[in-house]
Amino acid sequence: MLKGKAAIVTGSTSGIGLGIATALAAEGCKLMLNGFGDKAEIEKLRAGLAERHGVEVAYSPADMAKPAEIREMVAAAERRLGAVDILVNNAGIQFVAPIEEFPEEKWDQIIAINLSAAFHAIKAAVPGMARRRWGRIINIASAHGLVASERKAAYVAAKHGIVGLTKVVALDHANDGITCNAICPGWVLTPLVQKQIEARAKAEGLAVDKAKEELLKEKQPMLQFSTPEQIGALALFLCSDAAATITGTTHAIDGGWTAQ
């Protein structure tokens, strides 16, 4: 479906980003991976994706808090892969505290990585998409882009901002062959969340499965995690010809979290 297209997926060395990158590669899409981690592990991941799916896979260590590095990542993808047809803004961080105790440096960091990075990447990638009259921009927001939770001021503000940015980009480029949409996951069973569950189980003396259920119950009517693979499948649909007129929208994949 996407053979010959080229994509950047930020924050794609694990979790949701890796799920999306894998789905794109399986459809024949060339990739620029991005994220932090052990260099040897990232190289193993890059080479494995390239070998399994027969596509070119590059890697950028760009720091999403640094606009110049984001611009260079886009330029490097255009040089190495020939284009940036698909941009998935996925990289994100979290910090939790009451607003009166929220460290200002954490606010600045979360806004930079979770929101401003998407602006800088889109700004850099859109001119090429407009010239080619084809582009797909997918912003990974969150259920917290639609509703709020306590103690998450920066994250909720950034994810609401991502939803607004998505709508504006969609309007700005509605007739340029470019779509821009947001995916809003609820609980996703990533390695990071699995560690949180295990820590909670240990602290509260619960079985791991019970700790999972308790975590889900706090927000989701459906007591089931979404998976990175399911989010990858939704991203693929938004890149497809079937979704050519879907733009400026939010797609909740959240077990009913935001239906309440």
Q: What is the tens place of the pLDDT at every residue in 164-175?
A: 999 999 999 999
Secondary structure class of 257 (helix, strand, coil): helix
Boundaries of every domain in the chain: 6-186+226-254, 189-225
Residues whose CB is less than 8 angstroms from the CB of residue 186 and which lie 6 or more positions away in sequence, other chains included: 143, 219, 220, 226, 252, 253, 254, 255, 257, 258
Lowest mean pLDDT among 161-175, 192-206, 238-252: 192-206
pTM of the model: 0.98
Q: Which of 59, 107, 155, 225 is catalytic?
A: 155
155 is catalytic: yes
In one-letter notation, the amino acid at residue 10 is T
Whether the per-residue pLDDT at 70 is higher than 90: the answer is: yes
CATH topology of domain 6-186+226-254: Rossmann fold (3.40.50)
Summarised one tens digit per residue, pLDDT across range 216-237 is 999 999 999 999 999 999 999 9
pLDDT band for 129, please (50, 70, 90 cuts): very high
CA dist 196 to 87, 153, 215, Å? Answer: 29, 20, 10
Question: Residue 250: which H helix or E strand, with range?
Answer: strand 250-253
